[in-house]
Chain A
Amino acid sequence: MVVATGEQDGAFGRPQVLELVRGSLADILEVGPDTIAEGASFTDLGADSLALIELVEALEKDLGGRFAGFRIDDEDLEDLKTVRDAVDYVVSKTGTSS
């Protein structure tokens, strides 16, 4: 079960999750965050399967401090096709307000 630890201050909603996903993906793909549209598919962005695993590990690391036990299930990975899918998944899993 994912539990908010309350260790972080400040609002954390969907916009922050989107920013986090875009930033992580930008680091992995060595591109600017501005080039990553919310509706873009991972395929179109050039993210292969290993890049997606990198993204998953980065998100788990970044969100682990705020939401104890946060983990992206490997079975769910196949359903994440776009940046929006990933953001929606994190929002849903953490109970973050939209």
Chain B
Amino acid sequence: MVEILDGLPVAVDAMGGDRAPVEIVTGARQAAQELGIPVLLVGDPAYLSTLAPQPGVDILAASEVIGMDEDPGRAVRVKRDSSLVRCAEAVREGRACAMVSAGNTGAAMASALLRIGRLPGVSRPAIATVIPVPGSTPTILIDSGANVDCTAPMLVQFAQMGWALATERFGIREPRVGVLSIGEEATKGNALVKEAHVLLEGGAAGPDVHFIGNVEGRDVMSDRVDVVVTDGFTGNVVLKTLEGGVKAVVGGVLSALTADAAIKEAAKAVLPALTPLANELDPDTYGGAVLLGVEGVCVISHGSSGARAILNAVKVAHHAAADKLVARIEAVIASGRA
């Protein structure tokens, strides 16, 4: 396992993302300045060397960039001097405590998997995404896109890894874990869900993981469950549906509140109260998803991430490394029998 040493920076892929490098670099530098978290900017030396020196900000040169539309596995093998690959290697070699990228999601996964390595005992790494729940602790959705085809034992491991993240990230002592289905009854769902339910009900995830049974789509943004387990195909559909739905509702409310001059004037009294809610629902607040099941911390931010999202991603990555998220996952995987 990669040892987390005090003072190690978070490696940030300066070249990954739709708004790279400017927004990425700005967010990383803000993290160093405002949060005191050291960062290692990885990317084009010609650009990075033009930046004003700043305490807590170091540079690692990488001459190549993996594009958003490149084949992940092939790109990681061919572009060995890419910013993404160099980020992962910095974690593996103990030069960084964690990595953050807003670039090609598949390539970020492949870089972490191939260059940092898979945790012993973990069948497949999975992506865990934080889903905001207004007025309550967020829900963790796992897998939100890494594995489109899954087996029931894989879902058991997702439950374990999601549980570990819920304890680390939100300090929940006994996270409630549910399997996403089309009904609460154990008899509801497809073959995968039914088999996973039986395994989890039988304690396959170990003594610590508190399985509450099946949950439904409407529960994801409620305080009924802390970790929602599903396959990567369904999880990604759920994630994109929620993103689109929330965006449509927020847009609709804003349109209604600005429909005419009188309403706009009246809305001035309401808008301050809505601002915290808007922040809570904004994905940038959470920085990005976490790839679980590799021997290091890897935060994958949205491709459209701006400076604020990257700042928060660095914060999340550093927190996970300091809180020994990987060791927690290793321990809970060892305690199960999936």
Q: Which residues of A contact B (CB under 8 A)?
A: 28-30, 46, 48-54, 56-57, 74
The answer to whether B77 touches A46, judged by C-beta atoms less than 8 angstroms apart, is no
Binary contact readout B141-179 vs A (1 if CB under 8 angstroms, 0 otherwise): 000000111010000000000000000000000000000
Do residues B74 and A74 form an inter-chain contact, with CB atoms below 8 A? Answer: yes
Interface string of B91-133 (1 = CB under 8 A from A): 0000000000000000001100110001001111000000000
- What are 19 of the A-B contact pairs (CB < 8 Å)? A28-B118, A29-B123, A30-B123, A46-B149, A48-B124, A49-B73, A50-B72, A50-B73, A50-B109, A50-B110, A53-B76, A53-B110, A53-B114, A54-B113, A54-B118, A57-B77, A57-B114, A74-B77, A74-B78
Is there an interface contact between B151 and A52, defined as CB atoms closer than 8 Å?
no
A75 (CB) vs chain B CBs: closest residue = B74
A48 neighbours in B (Cβ, 8 Å): 124, 147-149
Which chain B residues in 62-85 approach chain A with CB under 8 Å?
Answer: 72-74, 76-78
**A30→B78 contact, CB < 8 A:** no
CB-CB under 8 A for A52 and B73, given A30-B122, A30-B123, A74-B78: yes
| Interface of chain A: mostly helix, strand, loop or mixed | helix
Bound CA–CA A50/B76 (angstroms): 11
Q: In the docked arrangement, what's the CA distance between A52 and B73, Å?
A: 9
Residue in B73, B118, B148, B149 with the greatest tally of chain A CB atoms within 10 Å: B73
A53 to B71, CA, bound (A): 12
Q: How far is the CA of A56 from the CA of B77 in the complex (A)?
A: 10
User: Are A46's CB and B151's CB within 8 A?
Assistant: yes
Cβ–Cβ < 8 Å partners of A56 in chain B: 77
Whole-angstrom CA separation of A50 from B71 in the bound complex: 11
The 7 closest A-B pairs by CB, nearest first: A53-B73, A30-B123, A74-B74, A49-B73, A50-B110, A50-B113, A50-B73
CA distance A54 to B123 in the complex (A): 12
Q: Which residues of B contact A49 (CB under 8 A)?
A: 72-73
Apart from A53-B76, A54-B114, A74-B74, list 8 A-B contacts with CB within 8 A. A30-B123, A48-B124, A49-B72, A50-B73, A50-B110, A51-B124, A53-B110, A54-B118
